Structure 1
Amino acid sequence: MVSMTTPSAATRAGHSVFNVSLLIGILLIAANLRAPITSLGPVLTEVQQFFGLTTAAAGLLNALPLLIFACASPLAPWLTRSLGLERALFGALCLIAAGCLIRSSGSYSGLWLGTLLIGTGIAVANVLVVPLVKRDFAHHTSLCVGLYAATMALIAALGSGLAAPLSKIGGYAWKLSLGVWFVLAMAAMLCWWPQLKSSSALAVSQPERKGRSVWLSPIAWQVSMFMALQTVVFYTLIDWFPAMAASAGIGAAQAGAYLFAYQAIAVVANLSTSVAIKRLSDQRLLGFICSLAIVVGVSGLLYAPSQSLVWLLFAGTGAGMSMVTCLTLFGLRARDHHQASALSGMGQCIGYGLGASGPFFAGWLHETWGSWKAPLAVLLVAACLQGFFAVLAGRDRFAN
């Protein structure tokens, strides 16, 4: 009797340890998916002066990762079929590590090539983490996605906060601020290496069913538009709030503190939403609530900018809730991890494509009208539309 029960217990223990190590690996991947980007903004002026970049070139450098996200995301599902999730994610980490090293080399070509590699690696990992979670954490998808999103947001905020202090250390200036993330990428690669030897990684599976493309599915478009509209509002506020605050008489230091609060409360919302999703039969109410929070926040910035901190807390809560809900929907609206990969690729292609255009058009509207009221009014419309698509996407059904 003992000999028969012992192997079973050992198997269960081994399976538990494997899941914990896999989750740690996922969180380390998440830690690499925003910080290499957010660390650029605070030292962008130094980079611009070092290379003699024009304002337009500096703006392109800042926006390039989002554009790469939009272009490269649809290719990630093909990598899943060709290499498997584990190998594709390891390759993405290799690109991020190499990109961080090359970008901080001090050469002009390295600056652009490194940014290209970082953006491509992050784009692939962005798409593939969701189907991995659906496959290996089927009963804890929302919790794992919440931890993943919270880790990504927290390290992104640290990346923004540490960039300027790191640039003052030694004689490395901006190179240290941008190159230090190579260490985090290498740590993630070392942690992820054992996953390449797992049984799931050694057997690259093919989809068991062939349905029509997710690009032809109404629910897939609804999820994608939900993702796109929340991304437009989030990145526009991240990029332009300091200028909006200055026009309302709020100092630069105070505006920076407000932006930190905006991102910090999003982390709390990430975790709380992952718990709430498990308690709901579908995600319609959750989509409505997170969209409403953003509507309230943007409305406040439009009509009472002197109370910006309050409105950013509303908007940040809505942004954090929206991100976790969108990422979870990529898994919930798919029948298997292959379809989840395709839906994630579609959603992030559309989402980041529109997200990259948001700050550009906000700047153009401000220049045209000479006020931030027009851009904020457009963001308010976008937030209302988000609510519409979020409710449709929250219905309990599959993409095809």
Structure 2
Amino acid sequence: MTSSTGAVRAHNSVITSALLCGILLIAANLRAPITALGPVLSELQQFFSLTPSALGLLNALPLLIFACASPMASWLTKYISFERALFGGLVAVTVGCLLRSSGFYFGLWGGTILISCGIAVGNVLVVPLIKRDFPSHVALCVGLYAATMAVIAALSSGLAAPLSALTQYKWKLSLGVWFVVAFLAAVVWWPQLKNEHYANKHADAQKNPSIWRSGVAWQVSMFMALHTMVFYTVIDWFPEMVKGVGIDSTEAGAYLFAYQAIAVAANLSTSFLIKRMKDQKLLGFLCSLAIVIGVAGLLLKPALALVWLLIAGVGAGMSMVTCLTLFSLRARDHHEASALSGMGQCIGYGLGAVGPLLAGWMHDISGSWKAPLISLAIAGCVQMFFAVMAGRSRFVS
């Protein structure tokens, strides 16, 4: 009897480890194919003769698709299992990476759309899956998931230019190499289709529409939206913001790497803190405060940009894990978590896409970066309010 029980436990442990490995491989594909694009944009512009407007749209397209497709990813789980939906997302990323690096104009746009749709599915469904299958370790698993996503994204942006210079295939290799990672993730995830859990369609039909009428859901979504807007605006415009104080593009790139690296450390540390707190109000306040201090420092003393970016990076990393964990903690079950994740990421990435555009527009009008930075500091203060409200221990319904 003891031997039989031990065998069952060992079997369950293998299944659990395989599931966690699959989740982390999915995480490795949720940013890297997008962050690899930035360093080779000039090569793409030259190869396809893209106008500046087309290049800007190519850059913004993933965030816009994340915003539009996120609610649809949640809706999809009313008809197919989480496992099947995530596998479909990985297939879309795999095919999209091949198509985008094919060298055809249609492939560039079609591949980017496929990749973005696949990533949107993963963005929305991984956290509810964690809530369902790791209910006692949500914060830890979300922290590992967010850290994996951030580390591979940073490696992707750092390796893109060297890979492009490595062979005659240039940007095609730099972008196409992520096909291998996506294909590997799909292969590892395939066995999970045997263990798929089907949704309760009637329960979902009752829960999903109400999520948009929940005050708690709006608080969590606005928390997500405001920190996403600040993060992507800083990532996109930081090199331009510090040109005037003698920081060149190479140095600015190194600072941005540090910004993302410290966010990874904050991801992991926050996942441990969340488990030890009865609610997330203090965490929401602290991560928002760090963002406000970092942005205010860039405004008032840009010569110390590295210091301010490190502070803001801690705030960004804490905000990401706290938001993702709230998708689970504020929901009663994984179906409700899926609906909340879809809503939060729809609003979050929608504002995330608009933020850099508004910052550029304000800079063009005012001729300086003061107005955009003041606006970002105000956004951080508003985030503080929504983060504290979202951090109260309640359910969305």
Q: If the length of structure 1 is used for normalisation, what is the TM-score? A: 0.97
In structure 1, the residue matched to 2:35 is 38
Aligned-partner Cα distance in 2 for 1:345–1:203: 18
Q: How far 1:14 moved relative to its partner?
A: 1.2
Structure 2 counterpart of 1:56, which letter? S
Q: SS of 1:213's equivalent?
A: helix
CA contact (8 A) 1:84 1:205 kept: no
In structure 2, the residue matched to 1:288 is 285
Conserved 8 A contact 1:35-1:156: yes
| 2:135 paired residue among 108, 120, 138 | 138
Q: Are positions 1:29 and 2:29 aligned together?
A: no
Among 362, 377, 396, the residue aligned to 1:380? 377
Shift of 1:365: 0.4
Residues 207 and 338, structure 1, Cα contact 8 Å, conserved in 2: no
The residue aligned with 1:331 is 328
Asked whether the equivalents of residues 80 and 198 of structure 2 are also in contact (C-alpha less than 8 Å), the reply is: no
1:6 Cα deviation (Å)? Answer: 2.4
Q: C-alpha distance in 1, partners of 2:244/2:154? A: 24
Q: Is the 8 A contact 1:66 1:355 kept in 2?
A: yes
Q: Are 1:396 and 2:396 an aligned pair?
A: no
Partner secondary structure for residue 246 of structure 2: coil
Among 97, 108, 111, the alignment partner of 1:111 is 108
Instruction: Work out the CA distance in 2 between the residues paired with 1:396 and 1:261.
Output: 33
1:140 & 1:99 partners in 2: Cα distance? Answer: 33
Contact 2:82 2:197 in 1 (8 A): no
* Deviation (angstroms), 1:324: 0.2
- Deviation readout 1:199-237 (Å, 9 max, x if unpaired): xx1544446473461000000000000000000000000
1:227 to 220, 224, 228: 224
Which stretches in structure 2 are left out of the alignment for 5+ residues?
A: none
Partners of 1:47 and 1:174 within 8 A in 2: yes
Q: For residue 291 of structure 1, give the secondary structure of its aligned residue in structure 2.
A: helix
- Counterpart selection for 1:352 from 309, 326, 349: 349
2:186 partner amino acid: M
CA distance, structure 2, for counterparts of residue 205 and residue 242 of structure 1: 49
**May I ask how many residue pairs the two structures share in their alignment?**
395
The one-letter code matched in structure 2 to 1:21 is A
From 116, 129, 152, the equivalent of 1:155 is: 152
Local SS of the residue matching 1:83: coil
- Counterpart code for 2:354: S
Is 1:363 aligned to residue 360 of structure 2?
Answer: yes
**Cα RMSD, aligned residues only:** 1.0
User: Matches of 1:170 and 1:250 in 2, distance apart?
Assistant: 31
Residues 74 and 125 in structure 2, CA contact (< 8 A), matched pair in contact too: yes
Please list the CA deviations of residues 29-77 of structure 1 after superposition, one character each: whole Å capped at 9, or x if unmatched.
Answer: 0000001000000000000010000001001001100000000000011
1:69–1:352: 8 Å Cα contact kept in structure 2?
A: yes
Give 3-state SS (helix, strand or coil) of 2:119's partner: helix
Moved over 6 A (4+): none
Alignment of 1:38-117 (within 5 A): 38-117=35-114
- Residue 176 of structure 2 is aligned with which of 179, 186, 194? 179
Identity, in percent, stands at 69
Give the Cα separation in 2 of the matches to 1:109 and 1:41.
19
Q: Which amino acid aligns with 1:196?
A: L
The residue that corresponds to 1:242 in the other structure is 239
1:117-128 counterparts in 2 under 5 A?
A: 117-128=114-125
Paired residue for 2:295, among 298, 308, 332?
A: 298
* Matched AA of 1:248: V
Query: Which residue identity does 2:31 align to in structure 1?
Result: R
Q: Is the 8 A contact 2:67 2:347 kept in 1?
A: yes
Deviation track 1:347-385 (CA, whole Å, cap 9, x = no partner) reads 000000000000000000000000001100000000000
Output the CA distance in 2 between the equivalents of 1:204 and 1:299.
Answer: 46
Shift of 1:79: 1.5
